[in-house]
A and B are shown apart, each in its own frame.
Chain A
Amino acid sequence: MARHGSLLSRSGLTPGQLAMHAFLLLCAFAMLFPFYWMLLTAFRPSQEVFSPTFHWLPQTFVGLDNFRAAFGKAPLLRFMLNGAVICAGILAVQLLTAIPCAYALAKYEFRGRGLLFALVLFALCVPVQVPALPLYMTLAFTGTLDSYFALMLPFFLSVFAIFLFRQVFRSFPDDVIHAARLDGMGEMEILWRIVVPSAGPAIAAFAVFSVTAHWNDLYWPLVVVTSPELAPPPLGMMYFNDPDIGSSFGTLMAAATLLTAPLTVLFLFAQRHFVQGVTMTGVK
């Protein structure tokens, strides 16, 4: 007991902190295990998935066979390119529209501002499935179904982004904006050259949210896209579901590994900004 106590005190942890860390480790394990399983399965033959005993390492190491098979079976690079085009398009338009909206709501006094902001908050509560039918009809009538545009349209206006950036811009000092007006800058110039550069962390945080959501989105692509060459990654994954021989888990997991890799890399790069942005704005 005494030794135990000294060990604790030497590591500078109280029993409460120790319990907390144990709990957090458990949570981390629950989060990471599926990823591990994905990687594991990508490097072993499909049959091993069904073996009754669990092994931490592949019993038969198949190297990159599954990856090769995945590339042969579906145009994975094409899916990734589609994902990149869609995510970039959506994010660009979201930023271009949400930033001026948020700035107006945060810094301008005008009649109906409170009502407009209440509407923004209200729109946060509407899931994409609700306007799906009218959106589909619009796309069908304008003949733009089955295109990149159809994939991006519903997400161009992000109320979440408006809300997030409004919170950030509100804390931007008025004096700096006043100084810029006295210095002779126009309103748009003030916004894009003075206010936006200071919101970098929040923009990075939003970019991670946005890109993750639309890279991983299956619902809307499933509705509007029929051509395989337009399929974003999750829709592409569906092509591995072969009704004849059942799912080929090894290839499936190899493909999944490849398709999630860009997001993982993106997050690792934006991590510092992301954490800063999220804590700064109090989101989530």
Chain B
Amino acid sequence: MTATVSISSIEKSFGAARMLKGVSVDVAAGEFLTLVGPSGCGKSTLLRILAGLIPQDGGSIHIDGAAVDHLPPRARDVAMVFQSYALYPHMSVHDNIATPLKARRLNSLARLPVLGSLMPGQKTVRAGIDAAVKQVAAQVEIEALLDRRPAQLSGGQRQRVALARAMVRQPRVFLMDEPLSNLDARLRVHMRGELSELHRRLGATFIYVTHDQVEAMTMSSRVALMMDGEIVQVAPPAEIYSNPSDVRVARFIGSPEINLLPGRADPRGYVTLAGRATPLRVGMTGGLTIGLRPETLAIGDGSSDIVVDGRLQRIERLGHDVLLHMRHAGDDQRSFTARVSAMDFDALRMAGRLEASLMFGARATAALMFGADGKRLMPLRDEPSAGNVTYTSSRALMGA
């Protein structure tokens, strides 16, 4: 009960606005792929095109190797969980969950409201549906709620009913459109765990849409980051964090946001940050952006590979960690954030050093460099021979 999904160059426009600009991604069978991106980037539209709910303008969708572009939603064997849960308001929980099975196993005459139950030869079918509903309800622990209406349920319970309705017909592919965003914070954490567990148990392909990077990072086997109708990068969570291909990816993934500081590369490719030399070298000359994650910055004495200094603006205590919001000492006056442990922070405060200019250091390997076009610049390790300057950009990285 699992299938590969192949999305190739999907195009969609609403009026003059190009919503999806040739999106392509392949999903392996049994994979948990998260489509993450800011609101309005087209991720929900892509999901609805996958389900067959809205037609695409170009490109095609293959499920299990077969094109499904001409198939209506019901024939695609995919199930969807909606952000609003989309439960049938006037039906009991039991009937909500039974609906997909009734629509498939009973003929249209037997589904008529009153006459339907008088049609012959459906007793075993109905018993089978009942058993399946009970089994799925037990899996998501809502057996006690089967007689209630959706309006009588809490958000978390509705969420489970929606899941049960999707699970009951054992589809090959599950599509989830921000299913956790209407839950409160505690329940969301809990349901994250349950969804991961469910994915492991069912072994079906999950395609999960969210704008929440935490959901993307914690649950998925791969993350596809979408921006402005394009997929910018597809990678496992750890890689998309440590090895972003584009400055937009680096900014979207990670909280607090990555620090972006302006640097310059001299004609030989050596990079300076606010006038200080760094061991970094790139295959280009001119302005570039140096990205340093807040946790890679440590309080230092100026002897580190990369040195950043600034004045303290604001302190945020997170308990185990402290966020220091700084103003960069360079001409740019950019603000940046450092994440230090509470212990280091207390030592700093005892020493009375918070008033003065603070100096942070980071290892050269922690720095992510981006060119003027936002693409990643890989540092050069070898000495370039004269006249053979190589420009390494993220295109090579993405191709790899």
Contacts and interface: CB of A to CB of B under 8 A. Distances in A.
Interface of A: 173, 175-176, 178-186, 189, 193-194, 197-198
A184 B108 contact: no
B264 interface: no
Contacts of A193: 113
Interface in B59-110: 72-74, 78-80, 82-84, 86-90, 99-100, 103-104, 108
B86 A185 contact: no
Given A186-B108, A189-B111, A181 B88 contact: no
B48 A178 contact: yes
Contacts of B113: 193
B15 to A, nearest CB: 12
Given A178-B53, A179-B86, 4 more contacts: A178-B48, A182-B51, A182-B73, A182-B100
Interface of B: 48, 51, 53, 72-74, 78-80, 82-84, 86-90, 99-100, 103-104, 108, 111, 113, 165
Given A181-B73, A182-B79, A185-B103, A173 B86 contact: yes
Given A184-B104, A185-B99, A179 B111 contact: no
Given A181-B73, A183-B165, A198 B89 contact: yes
B319 to A, nearest CB: 38
B84 A173 contact: yes
Contacts of B84: 173, 175
A198 B86 contact: no
A129 B94 CA distance: 51
B53 A182 contact: yes
Nearest to A179: B86
Contacts of B78: 182
A178 B111 CA distance: 19
A3 B162 CA distance: 61
Nearest to A182: B73
Given A185-B99, A185-B103, A186-B108, A180 B88 contact: yes
A184 B108 CA distance: 11
9 contacts: A173-B84, A180-B88, A181-B53, A181-B72, A182-B51, A184-B103, A189-B103, A197-B90, A198-B89
A194 to B, nearest CB: 6
Contacts, number: 58
A173 B86 CA distance: 8
A181 B90 CA distance: 17
B88 A182 contact: no
B181 to A, nearest CB: 13
B104 A176 contact: no
Task: Name the residue among A173, A175, A186, A198 with the largest chain B CB count within 10 angstroms.
Answer: A175
A193 B108 CA distance: 12
Contact of B51 (A178, A185, A198): A178
A184 to B, nearest CB: 4
A67 to B, nearest CB: 40
Contacts of B86: 173, 175-176, 178-179
B94 to A, nearest CB: 14
B90 A179 contact: no
A178 B82 contact: yes
Contacts of B79: 182
Contacts of B111: 189
B80 A182 contact: yes
A205 B83 CA distance: 32
Contacts of A194: 88
**9 closest residue pairs by CB, A with B:** A184-B103, A175-B86, A184-B74, A179-B86, A183-B100, A197-B90, A175-B82, A181-B73, A176-B86
Contacts of A185: 74, 99, 103
A250 B292 CA distance: 96
Contacts of B89: 176, 198
Given A182-B51, A182-B53, A183-B165, A198 B74 contact: no
A179 B79 CA distance: 8
A84 to B, nearest CB: 23
A185 B111 CA distance: 10
A146 B100 CA distance: 50
Most buried by B among A176, A184, A185, A193: A184
A7 B200 CA distance: 70
Contacts of A175: 82-84, 86
Contacts of A197: 90
B62 to A, nearest CB: 18
Nearest to B100: A183
Nearest to B177: A175
B90 A182 contact: no
B90 to A, nearest CB: 4
A203 to B, nearest CB: 13
A47 B86 CA distance: 66
A176 B87 contact: yes
Nearest to A183: B100
A140 B8 CA distance: 64
B251 to A, nearest CB: 31
Contacts of A183: 74, 99-100, 103, 165
